[in-house]
């Protein structure tokens, strides 16, 4: 039986990391950690949420995915917002199911292509969960702002159906958080097919 990589994708504040922590972290899924050059927030710890590194690290390490998220707005002398999953993060945890929390579908494509390149698709299958923005997404994102041009960059980093088409991907399931604790979940290909969280978890591991 294959292991599974669950890609949780959607704009900032859509509830991806909350869903992973609440429903997947204790279900035999290992959340792939990215390295990043962004500043560490007060509640974060190096090696737990991210590997906090400098720009030189990204020149020397090998990555399964590599993101330059403020490239469009970057000017010489400004910090680069770099993210990426180091290859060792996957190789050191082969045999586990994975989750990967990422905003844009093009980086899912990078990861899937990396699995093909390394001959791992016989061991792993892929499921994509597309998280829709919740009503207070903007206020959630504003509370996280700690980088130059933060609001512009987040607005530019979209996750819509055109982004999926450009990446030659389709989501498997669509998830929208219904506050305070509920979720509306349905199949992208068959929208009339809805799921509870437990049923979704069984489905994605089939």
Q: Show the tokens assigned to 118.
A: 């390394």
Q: What mean pLDDT is predicted for residues 113-118?
A: 98
What does DSSP say about strands 194-195 and 182-187: parallel, antiparallel, or unpaired?
antiparallel
Q: What percent of the chain has pLDDT over 70?
A: 91
Q: What's the pLDDT at 160? A: 93
Q: What's the pLDDT at 136? A: 46
The pLDDT of residue 140 is above 60? no
Largest CA distance in the chain: 51
The pLDDT of residue 83 is above 70? yes
Nearest residue to 85 (alpha-carbon basis) of 120, 61, 106, 105: 61
When divided into structural domains, the chain yields a total of 1
| Range in 34-43, 124-133, 191-200 the model is least confident about | 34-43
Average pLDDT, rounded, for the chain:
89
Cα–chain-centroid distance for residue 206? Answer: 21
3-18 pLDDT, tens digit per residue, is 999 999 998 888 898 8
Q: What mean pLDDT is predicted for residues 151-172?
A: 90
CATH number of the domain encompassing residue 44: 3.40.50
| Range in 67-71, 135-139, 199-203 the model is least confident about | 135-139
Q: What mean pLDDT is predicted for residues 87-94?
A: 97
For 181, the domain range is: 3-204
């Amino acid at each position: 039986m294959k292991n599974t990589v669950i890609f949780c994708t959607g704009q900032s504040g859509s509830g991806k990391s909350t869903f992973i922590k609440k429903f997947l972290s204790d279900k035999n899924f290992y959340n792939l950690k990215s390295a990043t050059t962004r500043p560490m927030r007060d509640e974060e710890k190096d090696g737990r949420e991210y590997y906090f590194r400098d720009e030189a690290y990204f020149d020397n390490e090998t990555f399964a995915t590599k993101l330059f998220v403020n490239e469009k707005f970057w000017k010489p002398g400004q910090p680069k917002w770099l993210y990426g999953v180091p290859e060792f993060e996957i190789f050191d945890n082969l045999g586990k199911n994975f989750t990967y929390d990422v905003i844009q579908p093009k980086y899912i494509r990078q990861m899937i292509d990396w699995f093909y390149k390394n001959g791992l698709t016989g061991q792993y299958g892929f499921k994509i969960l597309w998280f829709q923005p919740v009503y207070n997404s903007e206020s959630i994102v504003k509370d996280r702002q700690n980088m130059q041009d933060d609001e512009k960059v987040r607005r530019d980093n979209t996750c819509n159906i055109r982004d999926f088409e450009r990446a030659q991907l389709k989501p498997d399931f669509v998830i929208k958080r219904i506050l305070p604790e509920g979720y509306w979940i349905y199949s992208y290909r068959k929208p009339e097919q809805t799921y509870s969280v437990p049923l979704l978890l069984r489905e994605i591991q089939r």
